[in-house]
Chains A and B, each alone.
Chain A
């Protein structure tokens, strides 16, 4: 256990990512009547039987748990769409576009709205496969967009969970690259071992080979 510190290398805990995902909106079909809800986080409703309405996921799950609605799974969660994504994911080095919180959203729906998801077993296994394929290409699918003085990485289409997982690794790796590519750092490190030179990105640089 790392203690209750808010300051961690991975920045956000899994619970915090889930919290953020719960603010994404989703469509529900209520089976009851309820006045509009004027929350701090926004206004939702009114709720009428059989009339679909958009609410944040946390509200959808709360109503679902109390038997007050059905949840309409988002379009991207269909077998057809997910099959396409999985194929494209396998065929390409690049990451396919998916909702930023696809991992958390799908997990919340699997946990709380099982009967509202058609072909749930298929959907679940497709998402697992997609997660696996994406995770394995994290080493190849990220694009270095600058390496001249300062390294920069584009994480195109990476999801929140994936970015959070690779964050400690890529940030440390990029910092190391930056240091190595600055020859000034190498010279200075002889007599100033405890401090980082201010302008560690300036000066002549050694080119690192592309992968």
Chain B
């Protein structure tokens, strides 16, 4: 069935998690492109035939004018016209089917690339110009190129503005938090100094200093 592969391509897009990329489906993509060219192969001869029918109709019309208009001849020529018109209609519908299938396939291919491009741009906000290898291998080569170009475009805008827009992605919080020391820790690195902390001590630390100890379970954040 025409257009089935293209719709699979779009379904694949629709079923992936928002903001996530699956591997570029080169195989399916190439098959849809091939189908497009197949439509063209059908389309071209049909368009030629339609043109021929049109010419023939014109000819019939002309010969009608030239010839006398005996009842018999007119009837014959009408019949011939009807036959040509019927043949033309069938070719026109055939052409339309191929044209519409081609357009539909184009839209699906474009939707696939366009929507992936949207995700690729959003990655640009998270990774600074270099994509992690496991993501990069899911891109097609033109997508990799696009990522680089777009990242450069973004950099150039921010450079002109003299304002980095890739930080502060979420609203700011108090840079200091209250923590309790859970473990015997000995020396703790705070900024560029080391401090000795006792177990169960309650301290007020910079969030960025405390975060590693909290994730390691050596400190806990206190609220209230």
Binding site for B on A (CB under 8 A): 1-5, 13, 15-16, 18-19, 58, 61-62, 65-66, 110-115
Binding site for A on B (CB under 8 A): 17-19, 119, 122-123, 125-126, 169-172, 174, 176-178, 204, 223-224
Output the least CB separation between B199 and chain A (Å).
22
Question: Are the C-beta atoms of B174 and A18 separated by less than 8 Å?
Answer: no
- Give the docked Cα–Cα distance between A13 and B223 (Å): 22
- Give the docked Cα–Cα distance between A131 and B172 (Å): 27
Residues from chain A with a CB closer than 8 A to the CB of B177 are 65
Question: Are the C-beta atoms of A2 and B19 separated by less than 8 Å?
Answer: yes
Contact partner of B224 among A15, A19, A110, CB < 8 A?
A110
Query: Can you identify 18 A-B contacts, CB atoms within 8 angstroms?
Result: A1-B17, A2-B18, A2-B19, A3-B18, A3-B119, A3-B123, A3-B126, A4-B122, A4-B125, A4-B169, A16-B170, A18-B171, A19-B172, A65-B204, A66-B176, A110-B224, A111-B224, A115-B224
Residues from chain A with a CB closer than 8 A to the CB of B18 are 2-3
* Interface-centre pick from A3, A13, A62 (highest chain B CB count, 10 A): A3
Contact partner of B19 among A3, A18, A19, A110, CB < 8 A?
A3
- Give the docked Cα–Cα distance between A66 and B175 (Å): 12
Question: Are the C-beta atoms of B224 and A5 separated by less than 8 Å?
Answer: no
Chain B residue at smallest Cβ distance from A22: B171
Contact partner of A15 among B19, B170, B204, CB < 8 A?
B170
Chain A residue at smallest Cβ distance from B223: A111
Question: Are the C-beta atoms of A5 and B122 separated by less than 8 Å?
Answer: yes
Residues from chain A with a CB closer than 8 A to the CB of B126 are 3-4
Chain A residue at smallest Cβ distance from B122: A3
Question: Are the C-beta atoms of B119 and A65 separated by less than 8 Å?
Answer: no
Residues from chain A with a CB closer than 8 A to the CB of B174 are 58, 61-62, 65
Chain A residue at smallest Cβ distance from B18: A2
- Give the docked Cα–Cα distance between A5 and B125 (Å): 9
Chain A residue at smallest Cβ distance from B103: A194
Known: A62-B174, A65-B204. 12 other contacts (CB 8 A): A1-B17, A2-B19, A3-B122, A4-B125, A4-B169, A5-B122, A13-B170, A15-B170, A15-B171, A65-B177, A66-B176, A111-B224
- Give the docked Cα–Cα distance between A1 and B20 (Å): 8
- Give the docked Cα–Cα distance between A114 and B19 (Å): 38
- Give the docked Cα–Cα distance between A65 and B202 (Å): 12
Residues from chain B with a CB closer than 8 A to the CB of A3 are 18-19, 119, 122-123, 125-126
Residues from chain B with a CB closer than 8 A to the CB of A15 are 170-171
Question: Are the C-beta atoms of A113 and B125 separated by less than 8 Å?
Answer: no
- Give the docked Cα–Cα distance between A110 and B224 (Å): 7
Residues from chain B with a CB closer than 8 A to the CB of A18 are 171
- Give the docked Cα–Cα distance between A112 and B223 (Å): 6
Output the least CB separation between B110 and chain A (Å).
13
Question: Are the C-beta atoms of B19 and A5 separated by less than 8 Å?
Answer: yes
Residues from chain A with a CB closer than 8 A to the CB of B224 are 110-115
Residues from chain A with a CB closer than 8 A to the CB of B223 are 111-112
Question: Are the C-beta atoms of A19 and B171 separated by less than 8 Å?
Answer: yes
- Give the docked Cα–Cα distance between A19 and B174 (Å): 11
Residues from chain B with a CB closer than 8 A to the CB of A13 are 170
Residues from chain A with a CB closer than 8 A to the CB of B122 are 3-5
- Give the docked Cα–Cα distance between A32 and B119 (Å): 51
- Give the docked Cα–Cα distance between A112 and B177 (Å): 11
Output the least CB separation between A95 and chain B (Å).
27
- Give the docked Cα–Cα distance between A112 and B224 (Å): 4
Residues from chain A with a CB closer than 8 A to the CB of B125 are 3-4
Output the least CB separation between A170 and chain B (Å).
21
Residues from chain A with a CB closer than 8 A to the CB of B19 are 1-3, 5
- Give the docked Cα–Cα distance between A2 and B18 (Å): 6
* Interface-centre pick from B122, B126, B224 (highest chain A CB count, 10 A): B224
Output the least CB separation between B96 and chain A (Å).
13
Question: Are the C-beta atoms of B176 and A65 separated by less than 8 Å?
Answer: yes
Would you list the 9 A-B pairs with minimal beta carbon distance, nearest first?
A3-B19, A19-B171, A114-B224, A3-B122, A111-B223, A4-B125, A2-B19, A2-B18, A15-B171
